[in-house]
Structure 1
C-alpha cells in the first residue's frame, strides 16, 4: 500500500446522511411553518367571512322588516278605503300574513343582535313596531265599528307618525350593522395583507434556505463525486499513475475514495502478477519443448519397434494365407467329383421312389373314390329320409290348410247370413236404409266369392295330399336302394385301404433309401462349401494382411511426421 492509502481519514460529523437528513429537516420545518401560518390565517379569514356573512344576513332581514312594515301600512290603508266588505277582508287577510312574516323576520334577526348599543337600538325598534301595531289595530277596530271619520283621523296622523318612527328605527339599526360590516371588511383586508407579507417572507426564507442547501450539497457532495468519477474513468483506461483525491475525508465520499484507492492497489498488484505469470509461462514453454523432444525420441524408439514387429508378422500371415487358399482349392475340387457321383445315385433312388409314390397314389385315389361313393350313398339315404320328413310335414301343412279353409268357409257363411239380415233390416228402414242395403249387398257378394275360393282351395289341398302320399312311397323305395349301394361301397373302400397300406410301406422304404443317399450328397456338398469358405477366408485374410502391411507403412510415415512436428514445436 502507498502513502496515500496509509493516511488515516479525518473524523467528520457532516457525513452525507447527516447532510441529507439535516437539509430535509430544515426544508420540512420551513414548509411546516408556512403551512401552519397559512392555516392559522385562513382560519382568521374564515372567522371574518362568517362575521361579514352574519352582518349581511342581519342587514337583509332588517330590509325585509322595513318592506313588510311599508306593505302592512299600505294594506291597512287599502282595507280602510275598500269599496266592499270582500275587498276589505282580502286586504285584512294579507295584512295578517304580513304581520306573521314580520314576526318570522324578527325571530331570525333577534339571535344576531350583539353588543349593548345594538341591543338598545333593537329594543327601540321593537317598541316602535308594537306601537305601530297598536295604532293599526285601533284604526281597524274603528273601521269595523263604522267610525270612518275617526278612522280617517287615526290613519292620517298617528298611523303615519308611527310608521315613520318605525322606519327611522329600522334605518338606525341598518346604519349600525352596515358600520360593523365595514369594520369586519377592513379587518379582513388587514388580515389578508399581513398574511400575504408573511407568506412572501416565509417563501423568501425557504428559497434562500433551499439555495444554501443546494450550494452546500453541490460543494460537499456533487463536486467530490464527479472528481472521483473522473479518476475511476482514468483507472478504467489503465492509468495507474492517477492520484485518488478525498481519501482524508471522514464521510461516505472519503469511504468511496478509500475503496477506489484499494481498487487501484489491487490493479497494481494484478499487473505485477501478470508480469510474473508471463515470466513463468516463458520458462514453462522452454521446459515443455525439452520434455517434448525427450518424449519424441522415446516414442520413436517404441513405435518403430512395434511397427517392425507388425510388418514381420504380416509377412508371415500372407504366406500362411497363400497355403490355406491352395489347400482349400484342392479340397473343393475333390468334393465336387464325389458329390456328382452321389447325386447320380440319389437320382436313381428317387426315380424308384417316384414310381412307388405314383402306385401308392393310384391306390389311394381308388380308395378315396370308394369312400366318396360310400359317403355319397350314405348322404343320399339321409337326404331321402329328410325328404320323407319334409313331405310328411307338407302333408301336415296341407291338413292345416284344409282346417283354415273350412274355418274361412264357415266365416263366409256367417258373413252371408249377416249380409242377408242387414238387407232385410235395410228394406224395413225404407229410403233411409238404401245406402246400408247397397253395402249389405256388396258384403253378401264378397261372402259368396270367399266361399267359392275356399271350395277351390279345398280341391287343390286334396290333390296335394294325394301327391304327397305317392311321393313318400317312392322316396322310401329309393332310400332302400341307396342303403344297398352304401354297403357295397363300404366293402370296396375297406379292400382298397388294405392295398394302400401295403403300397405305403413300399414307398416308405424306398424314401428312406433316397434320404440316405441325399444325406451323403449333402455332407459332400457341405464339405465342398466349407472348402470354398475356407478358400474365401484365406483370400480375405490375405487381403487383410496386405492392407495391414500398408497401414503399418502409413503408420510409420505418420509417426515420423508427428515426431517432426513435436521437434519443431
Structure 2
C-alpha cells in the first residue's frame, strides 16, 4: 500500500500542535475570535448595505422633497410676479386716470376722442378693454367708437358689482385713492358691456376713480384684462428658470409658459406629481387659480446623485472607521490572547519541564508556581505530592535492598566468625607459650629492679639537695626582684622631681625613663631566671625519673649526658643573669653620674640615685649568692652522675634477662600480627 504523501511544513505544524496544548488552545481561541470578528464585520456590512438601500430610498424622497420645495419656491416667485403684473397694470391705469386730459375728455363727453385716447393707452397698460363712466355711472366712452352708449348704460346697470362701483365713488379720498379689483372669470354682464365673447374667460377687472381739480370724484375708469394663453411675464420667468408654468382654474388651463406638455392637466390637489418625464408642483395663485411649475424629472435624479455621492463618501468613511476599529479590536484581542496564552503556557511549560525532570529521576527538584491559588498552583502542588510519594517509594526500595544486603552479610558473617574462632584458638595457644617465657624473664627483671631501686633512692636524695639549692636561688631571685621594684619606685620619684626642671631636667627625665626600661628588662630577666630555677627543680626530678627509665634499656650514658646538658644550661642562665645585673648596675652608675651633674636643684634625685646604687650593690651580692648556689647545684649534679653510673653497672646484669624478654615479646608481636591479620580478614569479610 502506498503511503500518502506528506509535506515537511505540514508535518512540522502537526508536531508543534501535538506537542503543545496551550498552542492549540491559543489557535482555537484566535480562530474563534477571527470568526467572531468576521461575522461582526459581515453583519455590520449587511446592516450598512441595508442602510444604504434604505438611504437610497430616503435620498430619493429627500431629493423629491428638495425639488418640490424648489418648485414651490419658484412657483411662489412666479405667483409673486403675476400679482406684481396685476399691481403694475392697476398703477398704470391709476396714472392715466390722474391725467388732466382724461378729465377734460370726460367733461366734454367726446366719444371719438375718448376712444382714440383709450386705444392709444391700452396696449401700454396691458388691458384688453376700457370704459369711461361719469360720477353717475353713465358710460361716456369706450376704447371702441362703434359701441352704443345706451346699450352700455343698460349693461352697467345690470352689472353685479355696480354697487361696489357706487361705494367707490362715495368713499373717495384723493391722497389715498380707492380702487376696485376683481379677479376671476368674466361674467355675462361684461360680455354685454363690451360686446366681446369673454364670458367665463379668466381676467382682471379694475375700476379707478377720476378726480376733478378739487379732488372730488368726476367719474370712473373701468378696464378689464383677459389673461392670454402665453402671458409674457410667465414666459419670461419660464425661460429664466428653464421650467414650465401653467396657470389653471380647476382643470382649465388659463395660460402656459415654457416647456409644458400639450396634454398636461393640473390635478385636483396640489401635491407633487410626475407626468411625461416631468415633475410638477402646484400652488394657489390668483383667486380661483393654481399656478403649476414643471421641471424635468432628471433634476430629481441629479439631486439624488449628489446626495448619493455624499452618502457614499460618508459610508466609505464609516467603513474605513469600521475597518480600523475591527483591526484595532483584532490586534487588541490578539495581544490579549497572546498575553493570556503566555500567562498560561509559561507556567504549564515550566511544570511540564519539571515533570520531565521528575520522570528522569530528579525527585528533589523544586516545583515552581506552587504558591498560586488557581489550577496551575493545584497542578504544581500535586506534582510536589507526587515527588514526596516517589521519594518515599525510593526510600522504601532502598530500605528493602539494604535489609536484603544485611541478611546476606549476616550469612557471610556467620561463616567468617567460625573461621575467626578457629584462628583465635591457634593464637591463644601460642600466646600461652609466650606467657610462660615472660614469667621466667620477669623473675630476672625483678632482681635487677630491686637493685635499681636502691640506686634511685640515692638519686632522689641528690635531687632533694639540688632542689634545696634551687630554693635558695629562688629566694635570692625574689630578693633581687624586690630590689628592682624598689629601684623602679625610686626612679619614679626621681622622674617626678626632674619633670619640674627645664631642658636639662627633660634630658634627665629621658635618662630616667631609659633606666626604668632597663630595670623592667632586668625584672623580666629575673622572672626568666625564677622560672628557670623552678624548671630546674622540676627538671631534676624528671631527669632522675627519666634516668631510671633509660637505665633499664639503654644504660646510664644518656642520663648522664642529659644531666650534664641541664647543668650547662643552668650555668649559662646564671651567667646571663649576672650579665643582665651587671648591665643594670652599669646603667645605674652612669645615670647616677649624670644626675649628680644636675646641681643643687636635683639633690633629691641625687639621694635617690645613691640609694639606688646601694640597692644595686645589694642586688650584686644577691647575684653572687645565686652563682654560688648554682655552683653547689652543679657539684650535686656531678654526684648524681656518679650514682647513675653505679645504677648502670647494676643493670647490666639484667641485660640477659631483658634479651629473653625481648625474644618473648617478638613472639607475642608475631602472634599479635597474626591476630591483626585475622581481624583484618574478618573485618573485610564483614564489610563485604
User: What TM-score results when the alignment is normalised by the length of structure 1?
Assistant: 0.30
User: What TM-score results when the alignment is normalised by the length of structure 2?
Assistant: 0.26
Higher helix share: 1
